[in-house]
């Protein structure tokens, strides 16, 4: 049988028999040529009479409004390679397809059971209407509809669903009007894309995927007869609910097709014997990467609005590789289990990874188990980063021209006057090492030198640096800021460190590569637009120091077989434990903590507990990546140190 499309309405009026034959529908056995000719004549007469009656329906909708009708469509989220991650829709799960993309078997089956004379009438079927009138008159109410496909379409698009005679007459008038402005193929295509097929599937595309995991163009005769049988009462005849009733309804459709001469008895018998149902309901399926899809939806809602996201038929390509994301989630689960084996009953572990070259988010694990908690700690939790904040202060010092990694700093007791009294910072081990280099102070994560440098270079300046790195969380220039005393999200921390990894080049981090509508028109494209926001010498100098943190400092548990830089973070009350680090191709943060801010326990540190999880992830993530090296500070010009005035020297003594 030919799979060419049904002829247009204009072609059908001239010669309807070739049109039906091209669609694979025989005409000799349909109901007799005499009957069809009579039906066409009667329909034409009825049409003329009803059009006269239409003058009394001046308040009916204008059928031309359907020319610009855009139905609600499902939006789809994909990984960077095109793997489907999630569907987004409201009540109507729908994807539009062209009539040419629907199999001939499915088109014939629908026509057979719903409107076998669709390509001969002009919107109404006089014979069916007469039969329904008699039946409804006998029962004293509307019990039989006799609607053509065109009438069903105008009912769905332009009228209310109430079953009354006035509405039925409106359907008739509007159906005739509609076929005067739209070709038959267009009416049929709109019908197939709009009707309800059960389980929140609107339109033939999502229905075919739900019931058979196929595209509509691949549906065979047995499957087509089952789908066509659903239209009258989708939930009643659903194979997910009553398989026996589904088969009975399928048999009715096949019998109708045979009686019309559109299939042979042998084809009917073979189709009846075929097993059905290889798909499953997809309308409310859950994402395998829910932290990703929820974060993507939030970004889409902020840009386009929730209504358009659920109804606009968007195609969203994310920055995530599904397999890479699954690996990250497994690493987090392994790390969480390991902490419990060590007797540390920690509620949550979160991980996020960003490509420094694009600032695309490559992995995001917002917690241990999305089913138990949908709170995304990567994007929503503002937690104290502890000493992982220190690199921002040290970078500010290097960029000021006042310090190099080899400059000296005193690790000695100091007291500052504050509003509530005095503040005397302490090191983690409560000791003091005396004079040391800036490099060693950061390598060993000494607190007092960081506080002193913060005061020297100005905390407002350090905050300006964090703003240039994309950290928007509220920060105040309190003396303890260099120790990470204010909350920042893991995503903010990772994106900032990614800028260190790119030696000062920054782009806004994103989970979305591009968004198109259902027709492929571009709605959003996040092409990286990197800007140099940091001094290159100062950034390269900082990275050289942070390499030492992993090589011989507090982050030795994160050591890789390639150059890597990073920083541990542990808050003084042991409520937050971090490791944030990077190689030239990837920056990653691991955070450990409890949602209720319970202390994690004495001895919990970023170096001892977060760094091993970071290393496990990075080893797998970089398995197929070549070894790359960081820029040397010697390649860049050091910033000139500012000249000091007596006034500036006096002003630094005010808080001692």
Residue 319, domain member (yes or no): no
Residues 455 and 457: their CA atoms lie apart, in Å, by 6
Residues 81 and 328: their CA atoms lie apart, in Å, by 17
Residue 295, domain member (yes or no): no
Residues 331 and 238 in one domain: no
* Tokens at 69, concatenated: 């009708």
Q: Is the dihedral of CA 335, 337, 343, 348 positive or negative?
A: positive
Q: Could you confirm whether 114 is annotated as catalytic?
A: yes
- The H-or-E segment that residue 525 falls in is strand 522-525
Residue 524, domain member (yes or no): no
Query: Is 545 in a helix, a strand, or coil?
Result: helix
Residues 411 and 251: their CA atoms lie apart, in Å, by 87
DSSP annotation of 519 reads T
Residues 439 and 371 in one domain: yes
* Tokens at 264, concatenated: 């042979």
H helices of 313-423, in order, are 322-341, 390-399
First to last CA, the chain: 93
Residues 335 and 350: their CA atoms lie apart, in Å, by 10
Q: How many CA atoms are closer than 13 Å to the CA of 162, on its beta-carbon side? A: 7
Residue 101, domain member (yes or no): yes
pTM: 0.78
Condensed to tens digits (0 to 9), the pLDDT of residues 167-224 reads 667 778 888 888 898 999 999 999 999 999 888 889 999 999 989 989 999 999 999 9
Residues 503 and 588 in one domain: yes
Task: Give the CATH number, domain containing residue 460.
Answer: 3.40.710.10
Residues 379 and 267 in one domain: no
Q: Dihedrals φ, ψ of 284, to 5°?
A: -115, 30
Residues 163 and 249 in one domain: yes
Residues 359 and 228 in one domain: no
Residues 383 and 492 in one domain: yes
Decide if pLDDT at 620 tops 80.
yes
Residues 33 and 146 in one domain: yes
**With bands split at pLDDT 50, 70 and 90, how would you rate the model's confidence at 649?**
very low
- Number of domain units in the chain: 2
Last residue of a domain, one of 273, 302, 336: 273
Condensed to tens digits (0 to 9), the pLDDT of residues 137-152 reads 665 544 345 689 998 8
- Burial class for 139, CB neighbours closer than 10 Å (0-12, 13-18, 19+): exposed
* CA 356 to the chain's CA centroid: 22
Residues 602 and 477 in one domain: yes
Condensed to tens digits (0 to 9), the pLDDT of residues 420-471 reads 899 999 998 899 999 999 999 999 999 999 999 999 999 999 999 999 999 9
H helices of 231-305, in order, are 243-259, 265-273, 290-304
Residue 474, domain member (yes or no): yes
Which structural domain, as residue segments, surrounds residue 638? 326-509+529-651
Residue 631, domain member (yes or no): yes
Q: How many CA atoms are closer than 13 Å to the CA of 17, on its beta-carbon side? A: 8
DSSP annotation of 315 reads E
Residue 448, domain member (yes or no): yes
Radius of gyration over every alpha carbon of the chain, rounded to an integer in angstroms: 35
Q: One of 353, 387, 480, 507 is an active-site residue; which one?
A: 387
Q: One of 92, 95, 105, 114 is an active-site residue; which one?
A: 114
Residues 194 and 207: their CA atoms lie apart, in Å, by 11
Residue 570, domain member (yes or no): yes
**With bands split at pLDDT 50, 70 and 90, how would you rate the model's confidence at 129?**
low
Residues 161 and 263 in one domain: yes
Q: Which residues contact 387 (CB under 8 A, 6 or more apart)?
A: 445, 447, 450, 483, 484, 554, 567, 568, 569, 570, 606
| DSSP per position, 207-252 | HHHHHHSS-GGG--HHHHHHHHHHTTSTTTT-TTT-HHHHHHHHHH
| Residue 616: count of CB within 10 angstroms of its CB | 19
Residues 56 and 145 in one domain: yes
- Burial class for 323, CB neighbours closer than 10 Å (0-12, 13-18, 19+): exposed
Cα-Cα-Cα-Cα dihedral of 607, 614, 472, 584, to 10°? 110
Condensed to tens digits (0 to 9), the pLDDT of residues 508-538 reads 999 999 999 988 999 999 999 999 999 999 9
Decide if pLDDT at 621 tops 60.
yes
Task: Give the CATH number, domain containing residue 100.
Answer: 1.10.3810.10
């Amino acid at each position: 049988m030919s799979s060419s499309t049904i002829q247009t309405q204009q072609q059908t009026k001239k010669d309807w028999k070739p049109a039906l034959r091209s669609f694979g529908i025989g005409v000799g056995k349909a109901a007799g040529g005499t009957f069809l000719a009579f039906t066409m004549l009667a329909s034409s007469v009825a049409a003329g009479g009803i059009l006269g009656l239409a003058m009394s329906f001046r308040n009916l909708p204008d059928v031309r409004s359907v020319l610009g009708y855009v139905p609600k469509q499902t939006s789809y989220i994909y990984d960077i390679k095109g793997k489907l991650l999630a569907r987004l829709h409201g009540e109507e799960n729908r994807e539009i397809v062209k009539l040419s993309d629907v199999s001939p078997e499915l088109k014939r089956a629908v026509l057979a059971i719903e409107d076998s004379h669709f390509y001969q009438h002009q919107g109404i079927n006089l014979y069916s209407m007469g039969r329904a009138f008699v039946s409804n008159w006998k029962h004293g109410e509307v019990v039989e509809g006799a609607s053509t496909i065109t009438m069903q379409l105008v009912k769905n698009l332009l009228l209310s669903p109430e079953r009354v005679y006035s509405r039925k007459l409106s359907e008739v008038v509007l159906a005739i009007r509609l076929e005067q402005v739209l070709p038959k193929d267009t009416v049929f295509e709109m019908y197939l894309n709009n009707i309800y097929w059960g389980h929140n599937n609107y339109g033939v595309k999502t229905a075919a995927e739900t019931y058979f995991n196929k595209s509509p163009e691949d549906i065979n005769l047995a499957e087509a007869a089952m789908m066509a049988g659903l239209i009258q009462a989708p939930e009643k005849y659903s194979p997910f609910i009553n398989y026996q009733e589904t088969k009975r309804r399928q048999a009715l459709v096949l019998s109708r097709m045979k009686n019309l001469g559109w299939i042979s008895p042998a084809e009917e018998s073979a189709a009846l014997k075929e097993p059905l149902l290889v798909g499953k309901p997809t309308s409310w399926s859950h994402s395998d990467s829910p932290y990703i899809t929820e974060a993507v939806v939030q970004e889409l809602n902020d840009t386009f609005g929730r209504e358009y996201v659920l109804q606009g038929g968007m195609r969203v390509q994310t920055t995530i590789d599904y397999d890479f994301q699954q690996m990250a989630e497994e690493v987090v689960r392994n790390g969480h289990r390991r902490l419990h084996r060590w007797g540390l009953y920690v509620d949550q572990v979160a991980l996020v990874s960003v490509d420094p070259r694009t600032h695309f988010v490559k992995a995001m694990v917002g917690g241990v188990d999305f089913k138990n908690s949908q709170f995304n700690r990567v994007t929503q939790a503002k937690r104290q980063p502890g000493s992982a904040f220190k690199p921002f202060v040290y970078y500010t010092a290097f960029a000021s021209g006042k310090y190099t990694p080899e400059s000296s700093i005193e690790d000695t007791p100091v007291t500052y006057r504050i509003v509530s009294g005095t503040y005397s910072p302490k090191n983690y081990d409560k000791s003091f090492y005396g004079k040391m280099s800036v490099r060693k102070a950061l390598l060993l994560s000494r607190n007092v030198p960081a506080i002193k440098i913060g005061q020297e270079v100005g905390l407002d300046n350090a905050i300006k640096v964090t703003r240039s790195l994309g950290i928007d969380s509220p920060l105040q220039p309190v003396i303890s800021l260099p120790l990470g005393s204010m909350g920042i999200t893991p995503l903010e921390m990772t994106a900032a460190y990614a800028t260190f990894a790119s030696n000062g080049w920054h782009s806004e981090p994103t989970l979305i590569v591009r968004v198109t509508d259902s027709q492929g028109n571009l709605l959003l494209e996040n092409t990286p637009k990197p800007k140099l926001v940091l001094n290159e010498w100062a950034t390269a100098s900082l990275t050289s120091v942070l390499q030492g943190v992993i090589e011989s400092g507090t982050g030795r548990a994160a050591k890789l077989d390639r150059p890597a830089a990073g920083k541990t973070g542990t808050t003084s009350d042991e409520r937050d434990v971090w490791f944030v680090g990077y190689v030239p191709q990837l920056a990653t943060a691991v955070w450990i903590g409890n949602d209720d801010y319970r202390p994690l326990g004495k001895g919990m540190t970023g170096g001892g507990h977060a760094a091993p999880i970071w290393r496990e992830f990075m080893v797998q993530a970089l398995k197929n990546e070549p070894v790359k090296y960081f820029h040397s500070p010697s390649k860049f010009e050091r910033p000139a140190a500012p000249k000091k005035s007596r006034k500036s020297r006096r002003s630094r003594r005010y808080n001692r």
